[in-house]
Amino acid sequence: MLGFLLLAVSVALPARAESGDEVWTSFGARHWVADTVRLDVSQHLRFDQGLSRLHEVMPETAVAWDLTGWARVGAGYRYAQKRGKDDAFKAGHRVHVQARARLGVEPVSLSYRIRFQERIELGARPEFKHTVRNRLSLEVGSERSFTPGMAIERFTVLAGGVQAEKSRQTAFLEYRPVKQHVLEGFVRREISLEDPAEPVVRIFGLDYQYRFPKK
């Protein structure tokens, strides 16, 4: 646990003095519609300027299918209201499909996820953005209620070619006081790969999910 806390502090520390802070929160529920198929519904609220301004509001729904004990595929939809440069909220849609593989020897597990997402920003002339996201995660499980882990993710934009956009490094801690309630806190650092002069963004997050019992 001490190692995880040290990692969390190192991720949270800004790489540049002008780094901005954001707070991301979400709450939702998970329901198993079949033995191997689950449905997640969640509401995301994101704040910037040090928690002083609501920046994004995003309801989301996603479905996942466990093909085997180590392989999963899924898809999801998100409706987003995000502030633009004029400080007004602008609407948009995002859909994604993804696949994940997970391997390991207890209590350590390593997972890789690839996601293709399409973002549509509404307006007089809708804008489309095609992105591929590659994410590698490491988790350390235990018989207790806490599960620490870390992850790194790279965003690549497909627009007349392949362009690296940004990367995220995350340290997280999942807490499950009882089986149905899952709380996860995380610290994250987001770095622009398009423009190294862009300030690093520090993100602090807290997610809650209620999980309906499997029937």
Q: What pTM, to 2 d.p., does this model score?
A: 0.86
CB atoms within 10 A of CB 213: 8
Q: Is residue 62 within 8 Å of residue 76, measured between CB atoms?
A: yes
* Closest to 3 in 3D by CA, of 136, 134, 108, 110: 108
Q: Please give the Cα distance from 3 to 150 (Å, whole number).
A: 11
Local structure of residue 67 (DSSP, 8 states): S
Local structure of residue 49 (DSSP, 8 states): T
Instruction: Please list the pLDDT of the chain residue by residue as tens digits (215 residues).
Output: 434 444 444 444 444 434 469 999 999 999 999 999 999 999 999 999 877 889 999 999 999 999 999 999 999 999 999 988 788 899 999 999 999 999 988 889 999 999 999 999 988 788 899 999 999 999 998 767 899 999 999 999 998 889 999 999 999 999 998 889 999 999 999 999 999 889 999 999 999 999 999 87
Phi, psi of 7 (to 5 degrees): -65, -40
Q: Please give the Cα distance from 207 to 181 (Å, whole number).
A: 11
Residues 6+ apart with CB under 8 A from 57: 44, 45, 46, 80, 81, 89
Domains assigned to the chain: 2-211 (2.40.128)
Residue 106: strand pairing partners: none
